[in-house]
Chains A and B, each alone.
Chain A
């Protein structure tokens, strides 16, 4: 039995005052993705073909590379925020949850890093 009073136990256990940060980041990245994703899809659809040389020439245009890096970064962030909530919602064991969250973070940073490095390589000519 604890000798602490009920109020003593409850104090300091409240909200971390950061509850809205995740929610807000999800919306901000969602709004940013509307023009970025539409630009990417229509930009690819409007190319004469999707051959190697065409894709490289397209990605070598500074605006394309710049926007593509933003696209990859924002997708990774938005996807990370979304999948984290799913793991938190459905994975109940503390160990598995921690493992899932770690894997998600590594996977997103790795994929975004590889894509951004690739875009830079094309932009600056390998």
Chain B
């Protein structure tokens, strides 16, 4: 049977960009980022099990400019995915579908994630870990 392009519907471009779809995309996006973070976490455990030079190399990688940027991104991704995940669980339980509730919980997830990220890094800085 000849393979031909199937009609794709609905077309993405007919939708107005709004908070609901943006946050949904961000949830997937942060999820993929955290999956990559899982590899980094596994590597960190392997480094802890290695000798002190192995660990020092891992600490050097995580402490490098690129490493710190990645850690910043992962911390925000973690807090956002956590809060928005709870938002999803709340929906799964059958609550919070109203327009105002949806928007409020969405902004709460974004704002909360920013605050928690800021808080975690302030804590790190406060204890002199940076």
Residues of chain A touching chain B, judged by Cβ–Cβ distance below 8 Å, are: 27, 30-31, 34, 37-38, 41, 45, 49-50, 52, 55-56, 59, 68, 72, 75-76, 79, 82-83, 86, 107, 111-112, 114-115, 117-119, 121-122, 126
Contact between chains at B48 and A83 (CB < 8 Å) = no
Residues 80-98 of chain B, each 1 if its beta carbon lies under 8 Å from chain A, else 0: 0010011011001000000
In the bound complex, CA of A115 to CA of B38 (Å): 10
Contact of A86 among B32, B41, B88 (CB under 8 A): B32
CB proximity of B30 to chain A, nearest CB, Å: 10
Residues of chain B touching chain A, judged by Cβ–Cβ distance below 8 Å, are: 28, 31-32, 34-35, 38-39, 41-42, 45-46, 48-49, 52, 55-56, 59, 78, 82, 85-86, 88-89, 92, 120, 123-124, 127, 129
Contact between chains at B42 and A115 (CB < 8 Å) = yes
Q: Nearest CB to that of B49 among chain A residues? A: A118
Contact between chains at B48 and A79 (CB < 8 Å) = no
CB proximity of A125 to chain B, nearest CB, Å: 10
- A-B contacts, 21 of them at CB < 8 A, read A41-B120, A45-B120, A49-B129, A50-B59, A50-B129, A72-B42, A72-B45, A75-B41, A79-B35, A82-B28, A82-B32, A111-B39, A111-B42, A112-B42, A114-B45, A114-B46, A115-B41, A118-B42, A118-B45, A119-B45, A126-B49
- SS class, residues of chain B in contact with chain A: helix
Contact of B89 among A27, A112, A119 (CB under 8 A): A27
Q: Nearest CB to that of A120 among chain B residues? A: B49
In the bound complex, CA of A17 to CA of B48 (Å): 44
Query: With A34-B86, A119-B49 as given contacts, are A82 and B35 in contact (CB-CB < 8 Å)?
Result: yes
> Chain B contacts of A72 at CB under 8 A?
41-42, 45
CB proximity of B62 to chain A, nearest CB, Å: 9
